[in-house]
Amino acid sequence: MILVTGATGMVGGHLLYRFRESATQIKAIYRNPASIDKTRTIFNSYRKGDAALVDNFKWVPGDLLDLPSLEDAMEGIDQVYHCAAILGDASFDKMKQVNVTGTKYLVDIAIARGISKFCYVSSIATLANPVAGKSITEDDFFNPDALNTDYAISKYGGEMEVWRASQEDLDVVIVNPGVILGEGDYNNGSGKLWSASAATQPFYTSGSSGFVDVRDVAEIMQLLMNSDIKNERFTLVADNVEFKKILENISIAIHSKKPSILLTKWMLYTAWILGKIPSWLGIMKGLSRAEIITYTSNSKYDNEKVEEQLSYKFTALKNSIERVSSHFLENKE
């Protein structure tokens, strides 16, 4: 039997859909029963009426910080897909608790139970920037002494717990996705790119990053878990694109006004020094100093490892944006 954490989130929800034919062999953790509706929305993005398939899974209550609930959820489990995480909108303490301590609890139980394989969803945020001009790979390890975002620090801590478990005879695979684009909650995470574009917020930053389709992330996780690959991590990035270009493509797809005002680094720093980023910046509200660097840096990620080892071809981001935009428009309140 397989356990999926974060089953009501974007990655977990799309991963569950890939297991729809074997749903009775899948345990899916939830905290709030109402949040299962988010997974139903994701299922319907594939085909109308598929939301009903969500009820075929074995849904179990659980909390990453509640050991007894995790012990119960892990009963009879052979593989774990750990998708649950707290994103950057939460406090640093909350992110550390869930992303680090929660992951520790989970891998400790996995070790004790003799779980056969464990998949952890990390982030490109845990990859360090190499020498200027070179692409970032899986071998560019996190630098704890650099100026890092709270989210990056917490995901790095979680990743270290998984690496530690690999030294205690737990077979693991780690995926480090870029900015994940996909159907889901458009008020959280990368979904805000759509809600902000629909609100015709006119601002953009000068940075770029790696982006990837959520459906690719889910498929690659499954491929890795069904392979002999173990104790390795993989950067999941379809392409490296400027934030402005992503916002422009979304705006075109949902028929809204393109962003036209560049927020320079000094403008963002000035707002940060004065106390907070103005609320009208939408997806960039409340940026920290480290996050300002992220949004104004041009980072390039190399996906050669996963493409070669799995012979994988990523979905073109243009196609991802068009598909997700159609879903956004259909479900816009």
Query: Does residue 281 carry a pLDDT above 80?
Result: no
Query: Does residue 330 carry a pLDDT above 60?
Result: yes
pLDDT for 280 = 43
Higher pLDDT, 261 or 219: 219
- Token pair listed for 213: 């389709």
Averaged confidence pLDDT in the chain = 91
Measured CA to CA, the distance from residue 220 to residue 1 in angstroms comes to 19
Which residue matches tokens 């996995």? 110
pLDDT for 287 = 60
pLDDT band at 135 (very low <50, low <70, confident <90, very high): very high
CATH level 2 (architecture), domain 2-183+210-238+300-313? 3-Layer(aba) Sandwich (3.40)
Would you list the DSSP string of 213-247?
EHHHHHHHHHHHHTSS--SEEEEE-SEEEEHHHHH
pLDDT tens, position by position, 78-110: 999 999 999 877 789 999 999 999 999 999 999
Measured CA to CA, the distance from residue 225 to residue 230 in angstroms comes to 8
Q: Answer whether 97's CB lies under 8 Å from 104's CB.
A: no
Q: Residue ranges of the domains in the chain?
A: 2-183+210-238+300-313
Mean pLDDT of 154-172: 97
pLDDT for 131 = 63
Half-sphere exposure of 3 (CA within 13 A, CB side): 30
Question: Secondary structure of the chain: what % helix, strand, coil (to 5)?
Answer: 50, 15, 35
Region of 30 (left: φ > 0; alpha: ψ -120 to 50; beta: rest) is beta
Please state, as a whole number, how many other Cβ atoms lie within 10 Å of the Cβ of residue 60. Answer: 17
pTM: 0.93
Query: Does residue 48 carry a pLDDT above 80?
Result: yes
pLDDT for 295 = 77
- Give, in order, the Cα–Cα distances in Å from 38 to each of 30, 104, 183: 11, 27, 10
* Percent residues over pLDDT 70 in the chain: 92
Name residue 235's beta-bridge partners: 176
pLDDT band at 279 (very low <50, low <70, confident <90, very high): very low
